Structure 1
Amino acid sequence: MKSKQTAILAISLLVIVAIAGYFFTRQDTGQSTPLSELSIPNKPLRGLFNAPGVMVVEAREYPWSALGRLNIAGRHFCNAVAVGTDKILAPASCLFNKIEGKWFDNSEMSYVGAYQRDNADLNAKISNFNIAKGYDPNNKTLASITKNWALITLSTPIGNKTGWLGLSNAKDNDQNLTAGYRRGWEHALVTYPYCSVGSANKHCPNVAVDGLLNWFALSENQLVLSPPSGIDSIQDNWSLSSGGQAPSETTIMTVPVDTIGRLLKAHGYLDSPTLSQENLKQALSKAEQDDVISQANSLGIETLYELIKSLNAIKASKTPAS
């Protein structure tokens, strides 16, 4: 009898530990924050676009804060994405010194997360990097190009301060976005919200002009890295999570308030030239009444998704079919 009670007690403890472990480790980036708990800064609210089809986003707000710049030997930079506490993904081609025909040294590279204008304090040195199997910097075949990835380990876990993103193939209801730092706009993080609308890539960046930006899929729950070639070539090399994580050790806003405010302004729900707690609340209520968003009393990834989805629907209705 005693052994039976011991067994039951042991099983109960295992269940409790498993449940606690689930809640401790689960990566729920889709959670919304009540508006009353957010400290909304009173600041000027810019228009949606600084250039046709190009939206500047606030790098000090998650999920955008998970994007950053990998600076190479004072010569160039490439776009990188935090995918763990101390891990980033970047194009492997960026790490190859074409002039000398060899990979750059760790000491020649550094990563800056959530970088925008003068905010470069979230930076880290490079400990090591691994190149995806099958990638050859001298081979321009499709098979090599689709494996153009490097997993880089940072010297410090700044992912805790910037947050990080998961990886997933885009699903039918996702909004496809390109985002990063483009040539000529090296100090501003931008996205192209209309890139998947209508025909031809007239709404997308030009690689030859803007440089290589990463592709993302935005769902009601999270923003994930989602390259057009799929994630198989990445996951075949490294086992990376499909779920991201909002920052836990920083003053970075865990909700993209600035982006949401600008989207509300573009929809006509926010007339004021400045963003404040009161006018944001009023704008969200109007959007909820029109069924553009599902809830007005809280903000999160779902709000961002619903506003971008609505914006794309409006744009698509005005874009001639190809």
Structure 2
Amino acid sequence: MPVTPENAAWFAETCGKLTDNVGEALLGKAPVIRLALTTMLAEGHLLLEDAPGTGKTALARALAATVQGSHSRIQFTPDLLPTDITGVTMYDQAKAVWEFHKGPIFASVVLADEINRASPKTQSALLEVMEESQVTVDGIRYPTDRPFMVIATQNPIEQAGTYRLPEAQLDRFLMKTSVGYPDRDAAVQILAGSSRPDRTKELRPIISSKAIGEMIDMVRDNHVDTGVLDYVQRLAEATRDDSDTTLGVSTRGAIAMVRAARVWAAMHGRNYVLPDDVKELAGPVWTHRIIMSPDAEFGGSSGTRVLSRVLDVVESPLARA
């Protein structure tokens, strides 16, 4: 069912309230909060690459509290096993039955802290649940709740003893961004409230988890013109053809852009997607999907530079018209 202007206006107003509520716990970070909400409402997952102590855990807790959902935190370590994430089937002698004990992945918002410290085998335990919102154990499928969102973190400072995320797993994150340090005014407010460092405990739900599911269904059919779809595809192809890249944006990455743009447009009160929505989201949605060639990386080039060059070269539908 197409999104009406009235629905888009309500969607934007609700997202504003959600952003403000999360912002009570994460001061001065409205742009990051909007990206996180967009990821949730597009049924995607978020990768945060940031230094310790910047508020990554607070973001996850505040999101869960705002949408009346559950929250779990998994500290990834080299000895973590896949069953520590998904859960395990155990035999109950008293009942004489096998019972599945759910792991921490069964939560509305799952914080996978320092995901690159776990072994590739353990990291792969997230592939199915991130793609299909279900876990298969002993041949039985267990669906996750809705909404379901993984917020994974990486520490860019300490790389010793870490395992680089494979491209297949990076491609399953809808967005990659960083929280960053607060500006001076926000930092002063944080210091003034240092007697109650965990502000997430004081947050009240703004909306129910069921209503979030309805918002997800509502915005799924937000209008995207054929010209905008063609623009997304031409941008994706340009990243693949760029001389500095070994691997450009995949088809999954192009689909991720359309999903995110639909939510982003509705978040701004529109029932249609503009080329500017694609441009604004290109960085967080596509940068982590671009694999640079060794020579280009050694020369100082990056995915950000490739995207900047591609956005300058590829004409938008309005410019072509």
TM normalised by structure 2 equals 0.27
TM normalised by structure 1 equals 0.27
The structure with the largest alpha-carbon Rg is: 1
Structure richer in strand, relative to its length: 1
